[in-house]
Structure formats: C-alpha cells, structure tokens
A and B are shown apart, each in its own frame.
Chain A
C-alpha cells in the first residue's frame, strides 16, 4: 500500500465513522464531515467547470478564432461569451433583467428538447410496449407461453388502468350534498392503490437494497482498512 492509498484509506475510515455518528443524532462530527464533503465537492465541481467547460469550450475557441479564425467564427464565438456574461448579470438584482433573453433561450431550447425526448422516447414507446405485451410473436420469440403473455399483458394493462384511475379525482355532487366518485372508478382506484402500493414497496425495497449495499461496502472498506494493519 502506498502512502497515498494509506492516506486515502485513513480519510475514508474517519469520514465513514463521522457519518455513522449520525446514529446518535446530529452532532458536530457529522456536520464536519458533511461540510467537508460539500466543500470538496464544490471545489471539484468548480475545477471541472473550468477545465472541462469554460476553458476548452469558450476560451480556447475564442483564442483560436481570434488568432486564426474567420470573421464568422469570431462573431459566433462571441455569442456564447455574451450569453455567459448576461447570465452572470443575475447575480445583481438590478441587472438580472439583462439575462432574461439568454435564460429564455435556454429554457425554450431545454423545454423543446425535453418534451420531444419525452414524447418520442418515453410516451410513445411505453404505449407501444404496453400494447406489445399482448404480442404473441414477441412472446414466442422470448419463449413465453400464450397464457403467460396474456396474463402479463392483462396485469400490466390492469395495473396501468387502475393506477391511472386512482388519480382521477372527478366526482359529482349528490342530492344530499355529498360527493363521491363513480362506483366503477372507485373500484378501479382501489385496485390502482394496490398497484401503487406494490410499486412503492418495490421502490422501497430497492432503496433499502441500495442502502444496504452501500452500508456493506462501507463496512467492508473499514474491515479492509483494518485488515491492512492486522
């Protein structure tokens, strides 16, 4: 083990214990560890932003364009620079209005990209996937029996419908003034609650499994660190 590895192992061990100290409640050791992590992460992110974004994507092209680039390149390279400067105006409440144009451009482009990706990459494929659940050809290609295909497809379809029905909150007022959803919707919503419960249980199990894996990794790292000295 090199010195660097030793230092790294010691720091990892200490900070692991500091984080574990949270079991006894919020304490300065935990806060110290958290602050150090936040500070180190911020510094690292700043370095990444400079060395991997600003310098290679703004400064270097600017210098290159100014030295050897054409007039068009010089003009285009100033566009991101101007946008960056205007965004920096948000730091001042009086000058924040100057960044509205750039922010509008970013939000607009981002929204377009997100919506287009969601529609083309999630909604339509998911609808198609739900429909294909009853695709026998596909099922046969996967060596799935017909009953299983139908059952799986029906279960997915029911789970999708019931879950969506659960989030239908429309109701009509009755004569006595009370409001209650339609009986079919109520039943579907109740079934949807089961599916939602199962989903949340699955998510919780996954969270627990992920946390348990992280805990095991940390414990293993501690023992590994201690094992180096034993």
Chain B
C-alpha cells in the first residue's frame, strides 16, 4: 500500500517517492502537511468534516471566479467601508491570504503568538495593534484575480524608487523566489541563533531602535526590533533593523513593511552582498504572479542588475535560487496590506509610489499553493544552525514556502496556522520582514492543476466556498482565507454538502434515538426530533388492552337467559310414558336354552314320531306340487341356490321332497350367492343322493356375479353368460325355475328380473319360514307357481307326495315340540307379565 500512491485525478498508481503523477502530472499528495490524510475519503461512521476547496479556485472557470470575486468584493467593500478613506486609498485590496490569517490570529489570540515572534517585533501585543486597524476591520484574504500578477502590467517604473527601495525590492524580490524561501527562512533563523552576526547588521539593529514610534508600531518595525533585541539576533540583522527604523518614513514602511524595512537600510550601508542579493533575486524572480508586490519593483531595468555572488556570504551563495525556483510567482503578502493601514501618518509624508498607488483594490485572488519545487529543496544544503533555527522563525511560519516544507516541519507550522483559521479577525501585527517571501507562492501549480483537473467534477461537486459565497458572502469572506490555505480537494472525495446529506451510521442509531437536538442541515433544518428515533419499527408504547367481555346490561342479560330457556325447552325430549319391560335375565336365557336343547335333544335322540304330519295342503304348496309334477322327464330345470349355510338344514329339508317328486330332470344349478355353489354340491351329494337316478344330468354353473344385473343378463341370454348352457338362449327354454332361498330379496330379484324373459315356465320357490311372509304375495299375485316355506311346507309336501318319510318327518316331532314350547314360553311370559301388571295395579289401588 505504501509503495504506490494512487493519483487522485486519473487514478493511476505511482510510486510512493513520486510527487507528481506520471500520467497527468497532478500532485499526488496535498502540499499542506496538516491536510495530509484529512482529505481522505470519508468512511462510514465518520462525521462529515467541513472541507474548504479554495485551492481549486484557480482552476475554476472564469465565470465562476468572477462570481466569486463579486461576492468577495461585496463583502470586502462592506468591511472596507468601515475603514477610513485614507486606508482605502493607500492600500491595495490585493492582500496576502497568508498574512491575513496571521493578522486574525494575532488579533484574537495573542498568547498563542510565539515568543520568538514577539521578540522579533519588539513590541507588546497591545502595541502591535494599530490604531487604524479597528476590530471591525478584517483583512480577509479571499484571493482575487488581481493577485495573479502575471495578468497585471507593471504600474511603476524602477526610476521612481529611491535607491534603498530598489535594493530592498531587489532583496525582497530575491526572497520571493520560492527556491530561495526555504533556505532564506532557515537562514533567518540562523541569524537569530547564531552569534556570527556581522557588525553592520548589528549596527543596523541599534539604529533601528531609535526609530519613530509610528514606524516601530508597525509590524514591519516590530520584526527587526525584536530581532535586534534578541541576544541571538545576528549583528547584521540588528543593523538591518536599525536601518529600517531610520527609514521608516519611506513608503515601504507603510505599504510594504517587509520591503520597507529592507528599504530602510541605506544602500550605502548595506553590504554589497545584500544589495546584490536583492537585485539578483529580484531579477531572478520574473514571475508574473508577484506583480502585486514584486511586479512593480521588478522592472526590467532593475532586473538587469544581477548581483554577483561575490558579495554574498558563502552560505548565502548556496541559497541562490535555481532556475525553476525563480519562475515561481509570489503573492502580495497580507502583512503588507495590513501594515499599510496604520501607517497613514507616514504615508502622508511621502509620495505614494506609483506602482503602489496603481495597485487598485481589485478583487483578491485566492492564496496560491506553494510551488512544488519548494519541496525539492534539499535540507542538506542548509547549514545545521539554520535547520535548528527554522522552527522558531515566525516570519516564515505562515509562508507558503514553509507550508511546502517537509513534513517534519509541519507541526510547528500547523500550530501557527490553525489559530488563524479559527479566529479570522483582523490581525494588527503582521509578519515582519521576511514575510515578503510569501508572495513566492507558486502560481505555476494552479496552471498545472487547471490543466489536469477534471473540469466536470467542478460542476458536479460544488465546493464549500461557492455554496457559502452564495449563501453567506459576508461571513464566508472572513473565514475563507484560512480555509483556502488549508484545504485541498481531491476529485475522489465527497463535497462537504454531500457529506452533510449523508445519513448517519446505523451504529449510532441508539444515540440518535434520544437525540432531540435541532436539525442543522438539510430540509429539516430547524426542527427538533422530527426524524425517526431508530431505524425500523419500534413500538412506542405497550398496546392498549381491550376487554373482550361483552358489555351488556341486566335487561339484556335476562332476555338472553329467557331465549336460552326457550331454545332448551324446544330441544329437550319429552319423556314418553311406557310400561316397564322385564329386564334380560341370563338365568332365564339359560333356562330357556336348557329347556329347548333338552327337549329337542331328547326327541331327536329318541327319533320319536309323536306328532303327525300336517294333512291339509295349502294352495301355494299345492301349486309347487303341481309344478313339480308338470315337469317333463329329462326336461331342463334351473335350480337357484341362494341361501346361507346356516339355513342348510331347513332349506334341504324343504327342497328335497320336490326333487324326489320330479321325473329325472336335467338339473342346472346356479347361485347368486358365493356359497351357493358349494351348497348345491352338498345338496347334490346329500338329499339328491338318495334320489339319484340314472340319466339325471346335473350341471352346477356355480356363482352368478352381478346380483340383479347378473340375473337379468343370465335371464336374457343364458348361453352368453354360461357357455356351458349350449343352445339355451333364453330362460324360457328351461322347463321350470326352482328358487331355493332363505331371503325374500333373493326370491324377489329372481322373480323381478326374470319376469320378462321366463315366459310361462313355472316358478317354484322353496323358502325359509322366516321369508315366507314376504314371498307369499308373489304367489297371491300369481307371479310364482308354488311356494314351499320351511319345515311345515316340506312336511305337507312330503306328506302328500311321499307318504311322510323323509327329513321333515325326522324333524317334525322336535319341531312340533319346539313350536309348542315356544308358544308356551310366550304365553307363559305373557301371563306372567299380566300378573305382574295386575299386581302393580292392585297395589296402586290399595295405595290410593
């Protein structure tokens, strides 16, 4: 991760040691050390931070800058209107952003001013505050188009300046060189710490102490005085301060404190190396961006005077700006603008330089980022004493050159810069002399950035300064400079207004749940607690419990009870008065069974023939006998065995006389009962065995499935149903139909389903005694020819046909005794029950 750095513009990976992208030549990391890492994309849960995007201003389109400038101008005009008229005339609006920040910082928080800075100024905090700089006056650097000196022509020729100003401008111009700033700041610190101060410089410091109060109250004067008062101040710097104090009446003390201080030094007294340095540096910094400050002084005429390195000290020679550093533009330092306000008195004493007067209060330009080339300055070239003194130097602390210093210097620089950001109030005391290096801001960076930045992102990501300028132009103008100097916007990060619209992290919902604060942003700004407490549905209170009990009055309750009683009365069964029946007695049951078995067993075992067979012949039995006698010999007779095995004794006894009566019929047995086939076999091997005659054909067709449908199908086409009946295509081809059944339903089915197909063939039914009452109507209606039911009918049939020898005769005594016994039991039971009834009635009568 640390090996490569992703370009924020094009996204290409670059090695970590590279400062610019290989592809788009964009800066890979922000110049401002404290901002490093601060511009990282926001992460979930991270609170949105306010982002200032002032550094992107140079790459904005012209229309946008114009709009911004107009906003600033309105704010500035409002502030400037409170200042005196002289201040408005003598000072240009092109102030330095950086110094404006220092101004506000010093004004609001003096105790945070480093000691070294206080010692440099030589004045107390109160004395630093100029009269002309009222608290209302806030020199806010908003950055303007005028700050970019390349667009402005030189307003004053070099001939209008005195010699001191010339060399000082030369010196300041040389210091404006970004390449020279870093070593210059270090060298300045080294002047303080070193005891090798030249004598001439010490002399300048002594002279500086005797200067006018007006001059000494100025920030410019404070710096050299402090420098000279300090024991660590080099002698040459002391001398420089003294000279600057003496020449406080020069316009440089008013317009350009730092330059004025330097210009205060008599050129004759100034060392040659310093003069040449100033000329050389001024000439070697032809940047157009420094037009506000250096432009006027860096004329072509003066630029030709390039000092030689011979007059410089050795250490100073090494600090000669490189060719690339000389191209860096410098902005007008803010301290220069601030310093110009209190110096109204001195400004009246001399004529305002044309270049300065020509500097119109044009809209300010934003603070330029320092030149990338400044980072390339090797610290190894700086002497050790200079490195050690570097953090203590206040005059370079707010300089962009020092912002571009290596990250090791960022701490002390950050501590100096943030207060100014927080307190944007006007700062009376401005950085001293060497703050003139600040204009050495590198406008070249803006050019590169402008060419490399994605212009579309500017219209999609609205920067803060733009939104703030539209909403609060006056307030933003005060805080913009500090923000402009600190922020750098990478294309990948979210704008602050987008961050403000970001929802809070879900993890903080609990804390948000109890949040009753006012909404400060968005559409709900100004409302309190209108947002949901938590994400999702959360019941706010316990559900209200409703009673399910029916709310009825007493009257309604009584009516409901009456209705229930009515319904219950209608559905309640009415008791039916009935006589009491005898309970079933197991003893009685055993008694009856014992009596029957004993009587019947005895009679059966004894084979008695006490009771004679019935003589009378009923009509139905007579019809059966006639039908049996009417069957021709060898005629086919269909016999249906439809009774249960339990009735085999009765049915065999009832049907056997019939078969004994017939003359060698061809019997065909069929059954609609599953057990009928085997009962037919039993009948054949049983009763018919005794009557077996030669020539009798017996055919057991077996089971006829289908119930009534089977009977009907068989009656319509017997041959189709049973192929054994070859040639029998109709039921009427049989000579007779004999139905042996113990069920009236079976007899009825045969009678009904064969009525249409049997023709006039006789139908004789041998039924059980229990089904005879239901079959008898079919005989009365003449649907059947004869009916022999039970043992009685068999006994009659047997009595009349065979003379009373057969199965019926064997069962007749037992059957007769059993019938009598049954009648006796029924009669006895009836009489007993009658006796009980009479007794109960008699008892009731006695009771009555």
Chain A residues in the interface with B (C-beta under 8 A): 20, 23-25, 41, 44-45, 48-49, 52-53, 57, 109-110, 113-114, 117-118, 120-122, 125-126, 128-130, 132-133, 142, 156, 199, 202-203, 205-210, 212-220, 222-223
Contacts and interface: CB of A to CB of B under 8 A. Distances in A.
A203 B675 CA distance: 25
B357 interface: no
Contacts of B678: 44
A44 B673 CA distance: 12
B768 A117 contact: no
B601 A223 contact: yes
A213 B777 contact: no
Nearest to A138: B782
A121 to B, nearest CB: 3
Which of B589, B653, B674 gathers the greatest number of chain A CB atoms within 10 Å?
B674
B650 interface: yes
A210 B768 contact: yes
Contacts of B789: 206
A126 B752 CA distance: 12
B386 to A, nearest CB: 101
B702 A210 contact: no
Contacts of B749: 117
Given A125-B781, A217-B811, A206 B772 contact: yes
Nearest to A220: B604
A213 B590 CA distance: 20
B742 A44 contact: no
Interface in B395-450: none
Contacts of B590: 23-24
B25 interface: no
A53 B710 CA distance: 12
B832 interface: no
Contacts of A208: 819, 822
B596 A215 contact: yes
Contacts of A216: 600, 604, 649, 811, 814-815, 818
Given A121-B751, A125-B783, A213 B596 contact: no
Given A199-B773, A212-B819, A121 B753 contact: yes
A212 B815 contact: yes
B702 to A, nearest CB: 5
A183 to B, nearest CB: 22
B810 interface: yes
Contacts of A45: 674-675
Contacts of B752: 117-118, 120-122
A37 to B, nearest CB: 9
A218 B819 CA distance: 17
Interface string B788-812: 0111100000000000000000110
A44 B789 CA distance: 28
Contacts of B604: 216, 219-220, 223
B16 interface: no
A126 B601 CA distance: 42
Contacts of B593: 23
22 contacts: A23-B589, A23-B593, A110-B707, A110-B708, A117-B712, A120-B752, A122-B748, A125-B778, A125-B781, A126-B777, A133-B780, A206-B769, A206-B770, A209-B819, A213-B650, A213-B815, A215-B600, A215-B818, A216-B811, A216-B814, A219-B600, A219-B601
Given A120-B752, A121-B755, A52 B650 contact: no
Contacts of B774: 203
B677 interface: yes
Contacts of A41: 675
Interface in B574-617: 586, 589-590, 593, 596-597, 600-601, 604-605
A1 B791 CA distance: 28
A59 to B, nearest CB: 15
Which of A205, A208, A210 gathers the greatest number of chain B CB atoms within 10 Å?
A210
A214 B768 CA distance: 11
Contact of A210 (B596, B619, B677, B742): B742
B705 A53 contact: yes
> What's the dominant secondary structure at chain A's contact region?
helix
Contacts of A117: 708, 712, 749, 752-753, 755
Contacts of A203: 770, 773-774
A48 B709 contact: no
B677 A219 contact: no
A48 B702 contact: yes
Contacts of A202: 773
A73 to B, nearest CB: 14
A109 B709 contact: yes
Contact of B649 (A52, A130, A214): A214
B594 to A, nearest CB: 8
Contacts of A133: 780
A193 to B, nearest CB: 16
B753 to A, nearest CB: 5
Contact of A129 (B601, B605, B782): B782
A24 B591 CA distance: 11
Interface in B12-30: none
A118 B755 CA distance: 10
Given A44-B678, A48-B703, A52-B702, A214 B773 contact: no
Which of B705, B770, B811, B818 gathers the greatest number of chain A CB atoms within 10 Å?
B770
Contact of A113 (B712, B783, B792): B712
Contacts of A212: 600, 814-815, 818-819, 822
Contacts of A128: 781
Contact of A52 (B653, B677, B772): B677
A114 B755 CA distance: 13
Nearest to B742: A210
**Cβ-closest 8 pairs across A and B:** A217-B649, A129-B781, A121-B752, A117-B752, A209-B769, A206-B769, A206-B770, A213-B650
Contacts of A25: 586
Interface in B678-695: 678
Contacts of B600: 212, 215-216, 219
A217 B653 contact: yes
Contacts of B780: 129, 133, 156
Nearest to A118: B752
Given A45-B674, A53-B705, A209 B811 contact: no
Contacts of A223: 601, 604-605
Given A41-B675, A213-B790, A217-B648, 10 more contacts: A44-B674, A53-B703, A113-B753, A120-B755, A121-B748, A142-B619, A208-B822, A215-B597, A215-B600, A219-B604
B646 interface: yes
Nearest to A117: B752
B748 A206 contact: no
Contacts of B317: none
A213 B811 contact: yes
A118 B822 CA distance: 36
Contacts of B605: 219, 223
Nearest to B748: A122
Contacts of B815: 209, 212-213, 216
B756 interface: yes
A208 B780 CA distance: 24
A133 B790 CA distance: 25
Given A125-B781, A213-B653, A219-B601, A206 B705 contact: no
B362 interface: no
Interface string B710-752: 0010000000000000000000000000000010000011011
Contacts of A57: 705
B769 A213 contact: yes
A229 B524 CA distance: 119
A108 to B, nearest CB: 11
Nearest to B772: A206
Contacts of B354: none
A210 B794 CA distance: 12
B647 interface: yes
Nearest to B709: A113
Given A110-B708, A120-B755, A218 B649 contact: yes
